[in-house]
């Protein structure tokens, strides 16, 4: 499936492409019963596929829970950073401000509080900065959706209340 996506990306030549997480299935913290080398093979294989994306198409990687864990910690986040780059960041393409977040720390905000608080402070600064640059659009990319059916869903519905409250002011 990823190889087919790369073929289409190369045919279409979009301004950028986003992959919203779960680059691999195996994460030792989620599947401790499996050999950790499985993850390394999965990373090697998917990077080989992604290396075929034409150099004119920036490939933007957003982390998922299979990349940083259901309850991210310093080990899993640093491992992700070593393999793929920052777990949250912003970028500009023409007038679009793209913001990639680590939604796994939001889902585990009470257990990953330092990471959640750091990212939230960064997000607030990034949104303020973006507003001063008059973007045509601001788009937030994440692995987990902000809501399933309606923006007013409760934390029990999805677990994104903290972030949604901050974004909505």
Q: What is the pLDDT of residues 82-136, one digit of tens each?
A: 999 999 999 999 999 999 999 999 988 889 899 999 999 999 999 999 999 999 9
Torsion of CA 40, 59, 119, 25, to 10 degrees: -30
The C-alpha angle with vertex 162 and arms to 159 and 168, in degrees rounded to 5, equals: 120
For residue 101, the number of C-alpha atoms closer than 13 Å in the C-beta half-sphere is 29
Question: What residues have CB less than 8 Å from 71, skipping those under 6 apart?
Answer: 104, 108, 111, 112
Nearest to 71 by CA among 24, 122, 22, 115: 115
Residue 92, strand partner residues: 97
Question: What residues have CB less than 8 Å from 78, skipping those under 6 apart?
Answer: none
CA 90, CA 75: separation in Å to the nearest integer?
23
Q: Does residue 12 have a pLDDT over 70? A: yes
DSSP 75-119: HHHHHHHHHHS-SSEEEEETTEEEEE--HHHHHTTTTSHHHHHHH
Q: Does residue 22 have a pLDDT over 90? A: yes
Q: Does domain 2-168 have CATH number 3.90.45.10?
A: no
Q: How confident is the model at residue 52 (pLDDT cuts 50, 70, 90)?
A: very high
CA 90, CA 24: separation in Å to the nearest integer?
23
CA 54, CA 107: separation in Å to the nearest integer?
34
Q: What is the mean pLDDT of residues 5-10?
A: 96
Q: How confident is the model at residue 160 (pLDDT cuts 50, 70, 90)?
A: low
In the chain, how many H helices and how many E strands? 7, 5
Strands of 96-100's sheet in order across: 89-93, 96-100, 137-141
Cβ neighbourhood burial of 26 (10 Å; 0-12, 13-18, 19+): middle
Average pLDDT, the chain: 90
């Amino acid at each position: 499936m990823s190889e087919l996506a790369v073929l289409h990306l190369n045919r279409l030549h979009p301004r950028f492409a986003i992959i919203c997480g779960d680059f691999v299935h195996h994460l030792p913290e989620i599947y401790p019963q499996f050999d950790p080398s499985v993850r390394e093979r999965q990373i090697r294989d998917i990077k080989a596929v992604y290396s075929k994306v034409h150099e004119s198409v920036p490939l933007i990687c957003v982390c998922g829970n299979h990349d940083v864990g259901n309850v991210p910690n310093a080990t899993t986040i640093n491992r992700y950073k070593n393999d793929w780059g920052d777990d949250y960041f912003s970028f500009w393409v023409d007038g679009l401000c793209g913001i990639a977040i680590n939604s796994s720390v939001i889902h585990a905000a009470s257990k990953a509080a330092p990471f959640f608080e750091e990212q939230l402070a960064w997000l607030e600064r990034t949104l303020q900065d973006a507003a001063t640059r008059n973007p045509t659009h601001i788009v937030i990319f994440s692995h987990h959706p902000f809501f399933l059916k309606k923006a007013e869903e409760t934390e029990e519905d999805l677990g994104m209340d903290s972030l949604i409250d901050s974004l909505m002011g």
